[in-house]
Structure 1
Amino acid sequence: MSLQLLISFRNFKYKIMIMKKILLLTDFSKNATNAIRYAMQFFESEKCTFYILYVHKISGYVSDDLLMSPKDSIHDSITKKPKEKLNALIEKLKNETKTNDYQFEILIDFDVFTDAINQVVKKFSIDFVIMGSNGVSNVKEVVFGSNTINVIEKVNCKTIVIPSNYSFSPVKQFLVSLNTEDNLNNSLLEHIIDFVKDFKLKLHILRITSENDASHISLQDKERIALLDSKYHLVEGVPIDHAVSSYLQTNTIDMTAFITQDKSFLKRLFSASPGKELKSRMKLPLLVLHSH
């Protein structure tokens, strides 16, 4: 499908309000709740069903849970507290939101964290996964957190990661950064066009490449995005983290995006990347896109 036909199809599709299916991940922490509240505001103009998932750790099973209600099944006993917390959270969200176009469903699972998420994504045809960064120890985890890293690597669904303590502000300027290996194929363009049109965003594309590849890749990019209202910037021979950090300092950007393709997202992201620059990048919400 040509880009012109693709855009025409998207324009036709958006004349009809399609209900989005959003998966919200929670461990009832401050970061998780903050990310959920961000989602409530970010999707305010959309009709949405929010699936709020709590994954119960095996280590979290304690005898008190099983003895609280002897007449109940083990499953009922160990899910009683999470259900109460999830229902209380939903009541708060309903009171805080301004729209009536939201529906809520609660989900509790006992699986491996990413396996539980993948099952929900497949079963309910989830459009977006929303989670907070939950960093704890080393350089990678200070920025993202182990659960966030695993979701980025192992869950093939558009994922928005909200930085710790980030307060919502309207998203208008959206930056997609591409390195030499990132190919603007039809699948990736569909994701980008959908996102930009849904939320009426100004698209910035930052291509970071080697000097040998510059003219060839730049020409291909510009042909692919010729019909899009976008700002294109090419940087040659500069480390991707430095280029992104510099772009964010000189342009007003509200959300960034990164592409996971054949090469591991995290292997590329963290190889020879100073922790300081990674931290500065995660001052904004991050949309993770999968091109395959």
Structure 2
Amino acid sequence: MKSILLLTDFSKSATNAIHYAMHFFQAETCVFHIMNIHKAGTFISDDLMTSPSENIYESFTKAPKKKLNALVTDLKHTYNNPNHTFEISVDFDVFTDAVNQNIKANAIDFVVMGSNGITGASEIIFGSNTLNVIRQVMCKTLVIPKGYKFKPISNFLLPLQDNDAIKKKQLDVINDFTKHFNLKLHVLRVCNKNEVKQTVSSDQKKLSTFDCKYSVEEDVTFYQAVTAYLKSNSIDMTGLIVHDKSFIKRFFTESPTIELSKIIKSPLMIFHTRNN
């Protein structure tokens, strides 16, 4: 059984990502933990006066719990999947702290959340909460662009930068993911011309037992290489390996003239070098 954490602020983007997850994990036996996170400071004194008989926590959580229960009712009615069960929670904490606590408490396998899907700075594209989860939450995270509707997935792209000296354990996690969901793995290596021979030799040794399409791009930016590959190949999902908190920021801000929306028109699966 898989444990999936679905994050929602009740926006259209978050709800769309949850519906995507229902399709993506349709054949899996799953418990979906649907969580809404608030800062306690966002509530005003009137919230505490709604019912004098309730304690502070009950007063804070009453409205979001009602929305979460309505969402679960809708999901059960819409999908009627006997393999899916649901748990709801409301938390008041720093966003990523609340996510990490839930992951630990419920042995979460995947986090699923929506992005804003707007071109511009990286924080605007993803939303600050999504970007912080990508940077600071060491769990496989599926990011669904705003308005993206589920369609059958066949091809999965894993682009690798110069500094992506991937260990076998990380590749095994990615290979297990693509095999489990019956996806064709594409590996795109982007590297400097003077390092091609050594890098390709190392990659081919590590990938010798993998069923994948391997390609190399020399002396272009990582973003340019990925964008070009997506234009010339039918890719349904892109995977990114995050080595540190600054990676995503560097990736999406290396050139302000690039059409950032090209990358996020399809879902992103975020892997980390730790705890995957």
CA distance in 1, matches of 2:119, 2:256: 15
Letter of the structure 2 residue corresponding to residue 274 of structure 1 = P
Give yes or no for contact 1:255–1:286 (8 Å, CA) kept in 2: yes
- How many angstroms does 1:67 deviate by? 1.6
Structure 1: which 5+ runs fail to align? 1-18
Q: Give the alignment of 1:241-252 within 5 angstroms.
A: 241-252=223-234
The two structures have a TM-score, normalised by structure 1, of 0.90
Please give the secondary structure, in 2, of the residue aligned with 1:181.
coil
- Taking the aligned partners of 2:253 and 2:75, their CA distance within structure 1 comes to 39
Kindly indicate whether the alpha-carbon contact (under 8 Å) linking 1:157 and 1:289 is maintained by their aligned counterparts in 2. Answer: yes
Identical positions, percent? 50
Residue 221 of structure 2 corresponds to: 239
Q: Unpaired segments of 5 or more residues in structure 2?
A: none
Output the CA distance in 2 between the equivalents of 1:245 and 1:138.
Answer: 16
- Aligned partner of 1:28 in structure 2 is 10
Cα distance, 1:64 vs. partner? Answer: 3.0
Q: What corresponds to 1:204 in structure 2?
A: 186
1:50 alignment counterpart: 32
1:264 aligns with 2:246: yes
Equivalence for 1:80: 62
Does structure 1 residue 195 correspond to structure 2 residue 203?
no
Contact 2:227 2:262 in 1 (8 A): yes
TM-score (norm. length: structure 2): 0.95
1:140: which partner in 2? 122
Q: Could you tell me which amino acid in structure 2 is paired with residue 195 of structure 1?
A: F
Q: Which residue of 1 aligns with 2:111?
A: 129
Q: Of residues 32, 37, 55 in structure 1, which corresponds to 2:19? A: 37
What is the alpha-carbon distance in structure 1 between the residues aligned to residue 179 and residue 6 of structure 2? 22
Answer yes or no: is 1:213 the counterpart of 2:195: yes
Give the 3-state SS of the residue equivalent to 2:52 in structure 1.
coil
Q: 1:253 to 1:98 in 2, by over 3 A?
A: farther
The reply to whether residue 150 of structure 1 matches residue 128 of structure 2 is no
Structure 1 Cα separation of the partners of residues 240 and 90 of structure 2:
29
Specify the alignment match of 1:16 in structure 2: none
Q: How many residues align?
A: 274
Partner secondary structure for residue 223 of structure 1: helix
Q: Which amino acid aligns with 1:225?
A: L
